[in-house]
Amino acid sequence: MNRGAYGRTPWGLIFVAGVLAAAVGVYGLVLVVRAADGPRSAPPPPGGYLGLRPVGSYAQLPDDAGAAAEVQYSTWEVRTGNKRYDEVMPGRLSLQPIDSADHAYDPRWNKYILARITGHFTGTTDEIFQWAAAKWGLPDDLIRTIAYMESDWRQSNYGDYVQNRAQCPAGYPKLPCPVTFGIVGTKSTNWPGIFPWNRDSTAAAVDVLGGWLRGCYEGWVWWLRDHGNRSHGVYHAGDIWGCVGAWYSGNWRDGTATTPHSAESYISKAEYWEQHRPWLHRGFQSGAT
């Protein structure tokens, strides 16, 4: 995945707390007044709207329409440059099924993960985050955090260049070519069939991340048992932060918090940014394009 924007310095917590407290008071009133008039214009509250649904929830997760019904709609948009991507919805996604004979994934991966990835939603950037979180039973702040680290919330993001022409997406004839695209760093080579939608559709890119986190959290990514640092324990169900780290590094909790480009370093930074919520800081919101 693309290297994240780790260097941003948060605003003082006292200032942010004061701003957020005022916002909660104002928007609490506005919600009542505008309930029948359409979406509000507020950012998400500290802590987001949705929590993590437990292991075993996969069969009870909402479909695309059900997830859309859980979105807290708002005109709030801090990345206006995403609009062209936020409005793109794939007609039909067909991700390549996993061969169960390889024993790399639980057999349920094809049905409950790959077959459910559609990108079938349009909205603001944050509404798309909420939709994916609801669809996959994840905290919406976790999606916001990964998007911040991967791209600073910009769907135009791309990177992870390779020298193998066979891995290059269509339309990228020159070497080296990028294979990772989108707001959360969705890698084409890991998800055959996702390109060009991981590049062109915010919802498709984020839907893949949601599917990965849910399937990994359920304990279905069996190959991670042999790809990681066993001093942190063998891959198992129920470790959402381990799955966040594996999204980045491709390994299970490898390295340490101070090891560059490792899962543990990524996890450490993600936990920090989830707590500090840079998307609620004025400096983040001023970079609207």
Stated pTM of the model: 0.86
Q: Which helix (DSSP H) or strand (DSSP E) does residue 187 occupy?
A: strand 186-187
Distance separating alpha carbons of residues 117 and 213, to the nearest angstrom: 12
pLDDT tens by residue, the chain, 289 residues: 443 332 332 333 333 334 333 333 333 333 333 334 557 899 999 999 999 999 999 999 999 999 999 999 999 999 999 999 999 999 989 899 999 888 999 999 999 999 999 999 999 999 999 999 999 999 999 999 999 999 999 999 999 999 999 999 999 999 999 999 999 999 999 999 999 999 999 999 999 999 999 999 999 999 999 998 877 789 999 999 999 999 999 999 999 999 999 999 999 999 999 999 999 998 887 655 5
The tokens describing 194, both together, are 């996702």
Tokens of 139: 């905290």
Residue 3 inside a domain? The answer is no
Domain membership of residue 185 (yes or no) is yes
Alpha-carbon distances of 248 from 13, 63, 183, 221, 223, rounded to whole Å: 28, 26, 13, 15, 15
| Residue labelled with tokens 């701003």 | 19
Give the number of domains in the chain: 1
Domain of residue 173: give its range: 13-285
Residue 5 lies in a domain: no
Q: Tokens for 211, please give them.
A: 């599917």
Q: Could you identify the residue written with the tokens 């909660």?
A: 24
Question: Long-range contacts: 278-284, Cβ < 8 Å, 24+?
Answer: 278/8, 278/10, 278/148, 279/43, 279/44, 279/78, 279/126, 279/144, 279/148, 279/153, 280/16, 280/20, 280/43, 280/44, 280/46, 281/10, 281/11, 281/16, 282/11, 282/19, 283/8, 283/11, 284/8, 284/78
Does residue 22 lie in a domain region? yes
Phi, psi dihedrals of residue 32, rounded to the nearest 5°: -65, -45
Task: Note whether 280 and 16 are within 8 A (CB).
Answer: yes
Q: Is residue 272 part of a domain?
A: yes
Enumerate the β-bridge partners of residue 187: 180
Axis-axis angle for helices 240-249, 263-276 (nearest 10): 120
In a domain, 236, yes or no: yes
Residue 4 lies in a domain: no
